[in-house]
Structure 1
Amino acid sequence: MADFFRWAHPLFFSIIVVFAIIELSISAWLVAKYNARHNFTHRSLRTRVRYTLFVSIWTVLFGTIFLIMFLVASTGFILTSIATHGIFVFMTWVLWVAAAAAVTQSVGGNLHCSTQTEFVYCGHLNALIAFAWMIWIFLTFLLVAIIVRGVIVVRRGEGYGGGLVDE
């Protein structure tokens, strides 16, 4: 399992950060257009897109920090522990499920851009929703893997401060 974490953990974090950068770009563009043109369908949609922008910034900033610390820091460092990664990934998982569900709900579940006339920037909203759910799915896999690794490390007697990989 530790060998799996050596390559899978950085891979998953990298995918999540890249998708969050894409999500950040889409949500920032939408926020800029909504602020400049005031053509949002309702205020809750504008607020939810802004929230998605915040969650994207959160994920890019802290996800990059955790990825770098995992790659360069020693196992005993606080940002490389099971508990710290688990808490960060769980908090980020909650933020993303809220963002994805909120934007999905605000457009009525799905958008068929060829048949709808209510929403401006329909394709962008679809992409925003799709990337938000994809990030949430990757975070779910990562959270499950961290929990499994945590159980293994705790049963071995290293406690929650144990590293994600063995030395």
Structure 2
Amino acid sequence: MVDSSAAIRRGHPISFLLFTFVAFIVAVIASTLVADYNSNGNAPTKGIENATRFLLFAGWWGFLIGAVYVSLLERAEIPPASASAAVAQTGLFLASVGGVITSIAGHGVALFLTWIFWLAGAAALTDRTGGSFSCADKGYPFPYCNSTKALMAFAWIGWIILTLMFAVVVFFGARAFSGGRSVKESLA
């Protein structure tokens, strides 16, 4: 069997940083829209307002999950002065000492929950806005229409990234399970 730990150690930070960046964008756009809806009372429909609120939750949830996993895997490039500094500078993921959080199962559970939240939020907003839409043909006033379209686009982009990440975790989990390893072991 091919040792894939080097590829995981390279791809893991890249994928989580990319997802965390997209989650931050979704969270900021949704936060702005919800604040404007609250202060002006001008949400286009109650369904769009509720979907935007759910994406506010999903965006900050995704940012939190991404930040936790990025902080667990980041590794300082500066040589440590002592053994305790080495442990502090090396993320739990790369040191393989993170326990359940950095295990294959931990990744699977966190990504699956996040995947469900993002799918529900993106699908709800898409349904409430009618999918690909023009701001002019709604038949009712639609303030912040372009911001809502951007929110929907970034929500689907984040969901696609999560789908790919979750598929990789499922693949390596199945491979570990069939290879006699436990899903409790580290991903890399």
Q: Answer whether TM exceeds 0.5 for this pair.
A: yes
Select the structure that is richer in helix.
1
Following TM superposition, by how much is the alpha carbon of 1:116 offset from its aligned partner in structure 2, in angstroms?
Answer: 4.5
Following TM superposition, by how much is the alpha carbon of 1:117 offset from its aligned partner in structure 2, in angstroms?
Answer: 5.6
Percent identical pairs in the alignment equals 32
Letter of the structure 1 residue corresponding to residue 185 of structure 2: G
- What's 1:14 paired with? 17
2:170 to 147, 150, 160: 147
* Contact 1:111-1:122 at 8 Å conserved across structures: no
Following TM superposition, by how much is the alpha carbon of 1:9 offset from its aligned partner in structure 2, in angstroms?
Answer: 1.4
Distance in 1 (alpha carbons) for counterparts of 2:108 and 2:32: 31
1:91 to 109, 113, 136: 113
- What's 1:80 paired with? 102
- What's 1:69 paired with? 72
Secondary structure, aligned partner of 1:129: helix
Q: Please give the root-mean-square deviation of Cα atoms over the aligned residues, in Å.
A: 1.4
Matching of residues 1-167 of structure 1 within 5 Å: 1-71=4-74, 72-73=91-92, 74-78=95-99, 79-113=101-135, 115-116=137-138, 118=140, 119-165=142-188
User: How many residues are matched?
Assistant: 165
The TM-score, its normalising length taken from structure 2, stands at 0.83
Following TM superposition, by how much is the alpha carbon of 1:70 offset from its aligned partner in structure 2, in angstroms?
Answer: 2.9
Distance in 1 (alpha carbons) for counterparts of 2:51 and 2:11: 31
Higher gyration radius (CA)? 2
Letter of the structure 1 residue corresponding to residue 124 of structure 2: A
Unaligned runs of 5+ in 2: 75-90
**Deviations 1:54-91 (CA, angstroms, capped at 9, x unpaired):** 11111111211122113301213221100000100011
Distance in 2 (alpha carbons) for counterparts of 1:150 and 1:18: 26
Secondary structure, aligned partner of 2:43: coil
